[in-house]
Chain A
Amino acid sequence: MVATFTRPGWYRAALCTVLAAAFGVGLVVLLRSISGLPAFQSEQTGYPQVVVPLILAPLGFLLGIGCFDYWLRWGVGARTIPEDHSSHGAYSWKDYFKVNTDHKVIGVQYVVTSFVFFLIGGLIAMLIRAELAQPGTQIVGAGTFNGLFSTHAVLMIFVFIIPMFAGMANYVLPLMIGAPDMAFPRLNALSYWMLPLAGIMFLASFLAPGGAFDAGWTGYAPLSTGAPLGQSFFNIGVQFAGFSSIFTALNFLVTIITMRAPGMTFWRMPLLVWANLSTSLLVVAATPFISGAQFMVLLDRVLHTNFFQFGAGGDVISYQHIFWFYSHPAVYIMILPGFGIISEVISVHARKPIFGYRLMALALIGIVVLSYSVWAHHMFVAGMFSWLRVPMMLTTLLIAVPTGIKIFSWLGTLYFGKIHTKSTAMLFALAMIVTFTIGGISGVMLGMVPFDIHVSDTYFIVAHIHFVLFGGSVFTIFAGLYHWFPKMTGRMYDERLGRIHFWGTLIGTWGTFIPMHWVGMDGMPRRVADYAAQFGNWNLMISCFAFLLGAVQLIFVYNMIVSWRFGPKAPANPWGGKSIEWLVSSPPPVFNFDEIPRVVGGPYEYGIPGARHAIMPGEGAEIPVTRETVVGS
């Protein structure tokens, strides 16, 4: 009986969560009565008796589930349990609900968890479109509507796109560089377990008095500093999501720098590895800024400090500077790993080496450096220093150059390639190039100060962000999921359902987001529950396409679940890839390799007779039979 609550696991987690929350309430009550204040305070921005437990309870959960056990034992000088690898690898579905240190298990945990949040966020989007299908009020009031679009964006950004990329890279990146695991497996597990906590916290804000946080995903002060309690859920949830991604990024960087297989020089790394290297640099150095910004809002809300209180010497605009100094780099955090995925998929299915491989890697680094210099292009109408506008316009136009290099390089790779569209992954990759380019072009338009002033806070912005985030990031996520599904599960998915899903998604995306450009330029404001009657027909059409887009995602879910269970067994290398993850079985062995492979060439030498990327242990000169040997001969 006692053992149930002392062993790491769900029972202990539940116990510790409750204890930590109770401790938080007690602490607040105690401190407040010492200072002679009433025990509970329920002004809408206050509620310390909720805010403090909200910070402590997740920590209690992490402690209970077993994320800190090893470190605590180490810290008090106790014997650390011998490394018996018992928390490594998954032997039944139950192992996915435990703290596991295997990067492959953590990868799957990440992918599945963030996909669940994608479905919830998508459901909220359907509600938004139902409300906007006609002018006037349909199903929700204006207040609820604000909560809906805010939670939609926050779920999609912080607990879907960013961690989804982290999850896919978690799975394939160590395999690609020939590492047995990530550099810090326990830290990796901790990063994962913070993710569901952040997502649940965002969703739990619906239960708070005053409703979910409703100041948008940007949470601008002073709207956020005066908002009801739900806003504090956002402030705190972002901290957990933020720490999760900082620790993962740190882990990726250390893994990539110190654990590459012999022969894997930087110029032999697959572009997915390069992409995650640059993304991680962005995360490590930029994410603390959103942490800082949300801490400040939380302090203003709960302790009534004056960061953003104009009357007491605070500076309202400073919130936006600090926020965008993270959040512009964040948009690249949301696309660079996707660029990596597209490079992998395109070169495998076009059977050609990446055109301008080194330039591709350098372009990534260029984007990383430049993305710290453009933040104020989100603030052209905010009333910031007017002298900052033109420099920001110039840097914004400049950053389109390395992005353009990537696009042209993919086109160069496709040019005269043997393009196979047998795989849905390739369809999504090709569609992403086109769709993302449109989003990139509208981005450059927005970088022009006069045009941006015209369309600020209209549906044109919504069109831009969805062309880059849905047509960009989400398409790359689907490309990646289809591409590595056989590797992760050891099964093949149904290509026909994949195709239906692809065409439905493509038509749905374009149908939904193209018309938003027109209504935006005509002045339909974003983030408002109602609109002028003249936009009615366009919006009805947008909503119909949006429902199509939502519905076809169910086909994807069905395909993935059924194929995972009943799909035909996948060969080790279904697409004829060259990088190391394709040279191990599907799914890979528990410890990835018996011996570390040796890297002898570049990762993309398709069609070059006799070219090898890596030699696996115990392998003589014989080359595994893949499509390459058939196609290339």
Chain B
Amino acid sequence: MESASVPLPHGAGGHAAEHEHHGPPEANQSSRIDRQTLGILLFIISEVMLFGSFFASYFFLRVVVNPAAWPPHPFELPVGVAGMNTAILVSSSFTIHYALEGIRKGNKQAMKLGLALTWLLGLTFLFVQINEYVHLGFSIRTESFGTIFYSLTGLHGAHVFIGLTLLTAATIRAFRGHFDKEPEKHLGVEVPGIYWHFVDIMWIIVFATVYIL
């Protein structure tokens, strides 16, 4: 049986099987929210707290220790390039929204286009970021500033990578025609979509803290 749900497993599909027992009974749905959406939201809470621990460290290193120069001389952060990169990531939130709106109305073409665009934009973001790393001139060992700069942006980069992995799966399945209009038939796009919005919003917070404040 081909199922088009998200990668997170189903409790019990209720499909009869050639086993010495019949399958499990269908669970009672005791909440309006479906399992996969609730699961990803809770996971995002965990992720926010993981970022929180690094923001806490940022606070200690910058505010409590209060070093003379932040960033240390003679380094500077390329706010312009990062700002452009921010624009790229923010626009990818719109393209994933476009993909979702598409499949909700049953427009598979729009979904495919939106997913592919989102994927490309995410990849561009990562490349720009790596390029920026190469040209910064300071390393993760350059005082506490270098440490927290690379770990916050790197942690975020790792999340872009996870998001891209989810999107890759969604895109492949979209092009293979696995999703459809009914809500339970495109959870595999909805859930990566929620995660992608989180990655996006998190970047705005990281960007504002690290580059602008």
| Chain A residues at the B interface, C-beta cutoff of 8 Å | 70-71, 74-77, 79-80, 82-86, 89, 101, 178-187, 246, 250-251, 253-254, 257-262, 264, 284-289, 291-293, 295-296, 299, 303-307, 309, 312-315, 317-318, 321-322, 325, 589-596
- Identify A74's interface contact among B18, B29, B169, CB under 8 A: B169
CA distance in complex: A304, B172 (Å): 40
- Per-position contact with A for B1-23: 1 when CB-CB < 8 Å, else 0? 11100011111110101110111
Chain B CB within 10 A, most for which of A74, A75, A181: A74
Is B79 in the interface zone, CB < 8 Å from A?
A: no
With A89-B21, A180-B24 known, 4 other A-B pairs at CB within 8 A are A77-B175, A101-B9, A181-B27, A184-B35
- 8 A-B Cβ contacts within 8 A? A83-B1, A179-B11, A254-B38, A259-B27, A259-B29, A259-B30, A322-B53, A591-B22
Whether B208 sits at the interface, judged by CB under 8 Å, is no
Residue of A nearest to B15 (CB): A83
Question: Known contacts A181-B24, A246-B46, A589-B21: does B8 contact A75 (CB below 8 Å)?
Answer: no
A187 to B9, CA, bound (A): 7
Q: Which residue of B lies closest to A89 (CB)?
A: B21
Given contacts A83-B15, A314-B147, A322-B53, contact A184 B9 (CB under 8 A): yes
B39 touches A183 (CB 8 A): yes
B104-139 interface code vs A (CB 8 A; 1 in, 0 out): 000000000000000000000000000000000000
The 9 tightest CB contacts between A and B, nearest first, are A292-B53, A313-B144, A591-B24, A318-B60, A186-B9, A75-B169, A180-B24, A288-B50, A288-B49
Closest CB of chain A to B45's CB: distance in Å? Answer: 6
Q: Which B residues between 34 and 72 are near A, CB-CB below 8 angstroms?
A: 34-35, 38-39, 42-43, 45-47, 49-50, 52-54, 56-57, 60-61, 64-65, 67
Q: Are B7 and A75 in contact (CB under 8 A)?
A: yes
CA of A596 to CA of B23, assembled, Å: 13
Asked whether B10 lies within 8 Å of A83 as measured between CB atoms, the reply is yes
CA distance A292 to B60 in the complex (A): 14
Interface contact A258-B31, CB-CB below 8 Å:
yes
- Min CB distance B200 to A, Å, is 20
- In the bound assembly, the distance between CA atoms of A117 and B75 in angstroms comes to 50
How far apart are the CA atoms of A464 and B168 in the complex, in Å? 51
Residues of B within 8 A of A299 (CB): 140, 147, 151
A262: B residues at CB distance < 8 A: 28, 30
> Which B residues lie within 8 Å of A76 (CB)?
169, 172
Q: Establish whether residues B50 and A292, one from each chain, have CB atoms under 8 Å apart when the complex forms.
A: yes
B60 touches A321 (CB 8 A): yes
Say if the beta carbon of B74 comes within 8 Å of chain A: no
Q: A186-B9, A260-B28 are in contact. Are A254 and B35 (CB under 8 A)?
A: yes
| Interface membership of B80, Cβ < 8 A | no
> Of B18, B27, B56, B61, which is in contact with the most chain A CB atoms at under 10 Å from its CB?
B27
In the complex, the answer to whether B56 meets A322 with C-beta atoms within 8 Å is yes
A305: B residues at CB distance < 8 A = 140-141, 146-147, 150-151
Q: In whole angstroms, how far apart are the Cα atoms of A257 and B39 in the complex?
A: 11
CB pair B53–A313 under 8 Å, yes or no, is no
Counting CB contacts under 8 A, is B178 at the interface?
yes
Q: How many residues of B contact A (CB 8 A)?
A: 65
Residue of A nearest to B145 (CB): A313
Bound-complex Cα distance A258 to B12 (A): 13
List of B residues within 8 angstroms of A286 by Cβ: 49
A291 touches B50 (CB 8 A): yes
Complex Cα distance A185/B7, Å? 12
Looking at the complex, which one of A74, A259, A595 makes contact with B11 (CB distance below 8 Å)?
A259
| Chain B contacts for A590, CB-based, 8 A | 21
B140: chain A residues at CB < 8 Å are: 299, 303, 305
Please judge, given known A-B contacts A76-B172, A180-B12, A306-B144, whether A85 and B39 are in contact too, CB under 8 Å: no
- Whether, in the assembled complex, B33 has its beta carbon less than 8 Å from a beta carbon of chain A, the answer is yes
Is B38 touching A258 in the complex (CB atoms < 8 A)? Answer: yes
The residue in chain B whose Cβ has the minimal distance to the Cβ of A592 is B24
Cα A306 to Cα B62 with chains together (Å): 13
By the criterion CB–CB under 8 Å, are A307 and B19 in contact?
A: no
Instruction: Flag if A284 contacts B10 (CB, 8 Å).
Output: no
Which chain B residue shows the least CB distance to A304? B141
Closest to B32 in A: A258
With A75-B169, A299-B151, A591-B21 in contact, is A258–B42 under 8 Å at CB? no
Most buried by B among A82, A179, A186, A292: A292
Task: Kindly name the residue among A254, A285, A318 whose own CB sees the greatest number of chain B CB atoms within 10 A.
Answer: A254
A74 to B18, CA, bound (A): 23
The residue that A184 contacts in the complex, of B3, B11, B50, B53, with Cβ under 8 A, is B11
Please measure, in the bound complex, the distance between the C-alpha atom of A199 and the C-alpha atom of B100, giving whole angstroms.
Answer: 43
For the complex, give the distance between the alpha carbons of A318 and B53 in Å.
10
Q: Are B42 and A253 in contact (CB under 8 A)?
A: yes
Q: State A552–B167 Cα separation when bound (angstroms).
A: 55
B65 touches A313 (CB 8 A): yes
Report Cα–Cα, A253/B49, bound state, in Å: 17
Whether A288 lies near B30 (C-beta < 8 A) is: no
Collect the chain A residues with CB atoms within 8 Å of residue B17's CB.
82-85
A179, B27: Cβ atoms under 8 Å?
yes
The smallest beta-carbon distance between A538 and chain B, in angstroms, is 41
Report which of B1, B21, B34, B46 forms a contact with A288, defined as CB distance below 8 A.
Answer: B46
Cβ-defined partner of A318 (8 Å) among B61, B169, B175: B61
- With contact pairs A291-B50, A299-B147, A307-B57 given, residues A86 and B42 touching in the complex (Cβ less than 8 Å): no
CA distance A295 to B53 in the complex (A): 10
What B residues does A589 contact at CB under 8 A? 21
**Which B residues lie within 8 Å of A304 (CB)?**
141
Give chain B residues whose Cβ lies under 8 Å from the Cβ of A592. 24
Of the candidates B10, B25, B148, the one whose C-beta lies within 8 Å of that of A596 is B25
Contact (Cβ within 8 A) B19 A84? yes
Q: Which of A84, A85, A259, A315 contacts B65 (CB 8 A)?
A: A315
Q: B8 to A184, Cβ gap below 8 A?
A: yes
B34 and A258 form a contact (CB under 8 A): yes
> Which single residue of chain B is at the shortest CB-CB distance from A617?
B25
Residues in B neighbouring A318, C-beta threshold 8 A: 56-57, 60-61, 64
Assuming A184-B8, A264-B30, A303-B140, is B47 touching A288 (CB within 8 A)?
A: yes
**In the assembled complex, how far is the CB of residue A420 from the closest CB belonging to chain B, in whole angstroms?**
33
Picked from B9, B33, B45, B61, the residue with its CB within 8 Å of the CB of A285 is B45
Report if A313-B61 is in contact (Cβ < 8 Å); known contacts: A86-B19, A259-B11: yes
Residues of chain B contacted by A291 (CB below 8 angstroms): 50, 53
